[in-house]
Structure 1
Amino acid sequence: MVCVRKTGCVAFFFSLLDFLCQVEGRILLSFDGSDPGPWTYYEMRMKNVATLKAVTMSSEHNPPNHSPRYSVDGKVAKIGQAVECSHTLGQLGPWMLIDLMNVFDVSYVTLVNRLDEHGERLQDVSINLGETAVSFPEVCGKFTGPAETAEVVHVTCERPARGRYVRILINNSLVDSSLTLREIKVLVIED
């Protein structure tokens, strides 16, 4: 398996498009391509700090089938139409907020889109962090989209974003949208 580093990309397993490998939390890469020398192995152990943490949403569609807790339960399974996924009502600027319970330097955020249909609803998403639940000055990144059904979206923070609270927001101001996610992973580099 041959892997090379590409700034701003992250993928699980091997991505032919991005030339990046990630296996069991280890990212395999080479130098930026300017070094014609032999491949080098690097290892970064990542930890998902969002699993089973408290989550709130701007609204909840069809409770309890679309509870915010489903987005951090560690499960990705298709169970009927959008059942056991987090799903807001259609509204302007829908959001989800995860309380990590401690302050972390976040490197990546992974969004697992709904598995049944309407994947294109996931678009124009921003991910920000803050040390309080009301202000999110730290920018992790954006996903323009639209996504596809069952797409796994990896957002790489340009630099580690520091915060206790992670907000995922659809930036719409003209039409109602809903935010529906099967799973959210907030990844930090372990020492």
Structure 2
Amino acid sequence: MVQNIAVEKETTQSSTWSDCVSSRAVDGYIYSSSTLEKCSSTNFDYEPWWRVDLRNTFVISSIAITNRWDCCTYSKNNFEIYVGNSLINNGTGNSRCGIISFLSIGQTIWLNCAGLTGRYVTVVIKGCSDYLTLCEVQVMGAPVPLVENLALNGIALQSSTWPGGSPQRAIDGNIDSNFFHGSCSSTDYDFGPWWMVDLQSTFEIHSVEITNRRECCRERIRGAEVHVGDLHQKNGTENPRCFNNSFMDFGDVWLFNCSGLMGRYVTVSIPGTFQILTLCEVKVYGIPVVLGVQNVAPDGIPTQSSTFYTEVEWHANDRNFNSFFEGHSCSHTQGDFGPWWTVDMRNNFIVSSVSITNRDAVSERINGSEIYVGNSLQNHGLTNPRCGSIPSLNAGKTMWLNCSELLGRYVTVAIPTRNEFLTLCEVQVIAVKNPPMVLQFQPDHYPTFF
């Protein structure tokens, strides 16, 4: 059931003016008393922010912001609203639901968040100093569907087997982490040892949980990488990487976020060294992939802010993953301020994830790029909800971003804040057309989507 899930949840803000505490913005008083005595307010801060902790992850359909009735139009500065599970930069590193560029006295504006998922909702005024006053924040959402341990029904393989260390023991549901109790897998002493589970169908993988051995040999998982994808070749190690583990202590249980990577195979490997790989339990959490989900970018029409010599925009969605720039497989803009690349997918899609493949050199040029999904071409798509950002990406590597089922026709990659060359060696957009179900709600007042 979709309802206002923000009421009386825990809140915080960048500072507090007088007694206008952050909790007033979720006290349930919406239209009757939106004067300052019922509103939250920060001091005159640079980039003031406010945040609510929903305590669990929800599917967010829309968010409403109500301004005070007694004064103070916001007409010069933009509110930005973010949804996600990260507290980095007070939550502004999460996906962006939208922007409110004008909020008049007493006005309530609704923003369509297109099914973003997250625990935290952050409201911020970017790029200037101001008071941030919120008389009510409504967050319409529903709990994320429960996901199960998919590995229990899988088939496990590994590079070799130490006596008593069958690969299936890592997915037997037994979390006893003492190898001698018969619940851990173990390879022999291999170069680049690996373990893989075949889930027997493709899933959207949200997280992988690994339990390390507790009675000895904690180093036998050090340096391990986890890969998720549909490629079986090379034991799945060429699939996108979910994470790599630098250190786990005796008996540690670590849960790693895989951001909705899609795949049938989950591989744990220790590349480039001779090692024994021991796993006492591997749990895989995800949901079935909706029929029709695929990379829709190759069928789209790309454009970019400018073109560097012959490195045209369609090189970024030509299904060629070669990251060698001289191979003419990458798009490339001139050194523009705020360079951008957009693909028009020609239909509305629910976008689950987007991947970016970087070039073989000058890898830092991609740093700070942002990915947007939506139905607007205003400002080249930069006003659409933000799927995520790339703080850095090594040369030749691919990064996957979880877009939490954003709805839209256009996907834009941009570096909005500086003069830069934008080079993209491949952009994949994993999406499904014409979803069978759309969350709906009936608020007390008819919303105006902005």
Q: Do both proteins adopt the same fold according to a TM-score greater than 0.5, normalized to the shorter chain?
A: yes
2:429 to 182, 186, 189: 186
Does residue 26 (structure 1) correspond to residue 271 (structure 2)? The answer is no
Q: Structure 2 matches for 1:79-98, cutoff 5 A?
A: 81=326, 83-98=328-343
Q: Structure 2 matches for 1:117-132, cutoff 5 A?
A: 117-132=361-376
Deviation string 1:57-102 (CA, Å, 9 cap, x unpaired) is 001000xx20101111111225662623100001111000100100
Does residue 75 (structure 1) correspond to residue 276 (structure 2)? The answer is no
Contact 1:25–1:44, Cα closer than 8 Å, also in 2: no
Deviation (angstroms), 1:52: 3.4
Distance 1:73 1:82, change over 3 A: same
Percent of aligned positions with the same letter in both sequences? Answer: 26
Q: Aligned equivalents of 2:325 and 2:388: distance in 1? A: 31
Give the secondary structure class of the aligned counterpart of 1:51.
Answer: helix
Q: Aligned equivalents of 2:334 and 2:396: distance in 1? A: 20
Distance 1:80 1:189, change over 3 A: closer
Q: Structure 2 matches for 1:27-46, cutoff 5 A?
A: 39=283, 43-44=288-289, 46=293
Q: Aligned equivalents of 1:179 and 1:11: distance in 2? A: 28
Contact 2:228–2:264, Cα closer than 8 Å, also in 1: no
Deviation (angstroms), 1:171: 2.6
Q: Aligned equivalents of 1:107 and 1:91: distance in 2? A: 29
Deviation (angstroms), 1:114: 1.1
- Stretches of structure 1 that go unaligned for 5 or more consecutive residues are 30-36
Q: TM-score, normalised by structure 2?
A: 0.35
Paired residues in the alignment total 176
Distance 1:128 1:102, change over 3 A: same
Does residue 107 (structure 1) correspond to residue 352 (structure 2)? The answer is yes
Contact 2:323–2:330, Cα closer than 8 Å, also in 1: no
User: Which residue of the partner structure matches residue 152 of structure 1?
Assistant: 398
Distance 1:81 1:132, change over 3 A: same
Q: Aligned equivalents of 1:156 and 1:23: distance in 2? A: 8
Contact 2:323–2:396, Cα closer than 8 Å, also in 1: no
Q: Aligned equivalents of 2:391 and 2:323: distance in 1? A: 25
Q: Aligned equivalents of 1:38 and 1:84: distance in 2? A: 38
User: Which residue of the partner structure matches residue 296 of structure 2?
Assistant: 49
User: Which residue of the partner structure matches residue 386 of structure 2?
Assistant: 139
Q: Aligned equivalents of 1:119 and 1:170: distance in 2? A: 14
Distance 1:23 1:55, change over 3 A: closer
Distance 1:150 1:16, change over 3 A: same
Distance 1:27 1:131, change over 3 A: farther
Contact 1:138–1:163, Cα closer than 8 Å, also in 2: no
Q: TM-score, normalised by structure 1?
A: 0.76
Q: Aligned equivalents of 2:326 and 2:282: distance in 1? A: 48
Deviation (angstroms), 1:182: 0.7
Deviation (angstroms), 1:160: 1.4
Q: Aligned equivalents of 1:75 and 1:142: distance in 2? A: 23
- Stretches of structure 2 that go unaligned for 5 or more consecutive residues are 1-195, 200-204, 209-226, 230-238, 245-255, 268-280, 436-450
Contact 1:104–1:162, Cα closer than 8 Å, also in 2: yes
Deviation (angstroms), 1:19: 7.4
User: Which residue of the partner structure matches residue 169 of structure 1?
Assistant: 414
Contact 2:228–2:261, Cα closer than 8 Å, also in 1: no
Contact 2:320–2:329, Cα closer than 8 Å, also in 1: no
Distance 1:11 1:68, change over 3 A: farther
Distance 1:121 1:79, change over 3 A: closer
Give the secondary structure class of the aligned counterpart of 2:289.
Answer: coil
Does residue 6 (structure 1) correspond to residue 207 (structure 2)? The answer is yes
Q: Aligned equivalents of 2:365 and 2:282: distance in 1? A: 43
Q: Aligned equivalents of 1:78 and 1:5: distance in 2? A: 27
Deviation (angstroms), 1:119: 1.3
Q: More helix by proportion, 1 or 2? A: 2
Contact 1:94–1:177, Cα closer than 8 Å, also in 2: yes
Distance 1:5 1:105, change over 3 A: closer
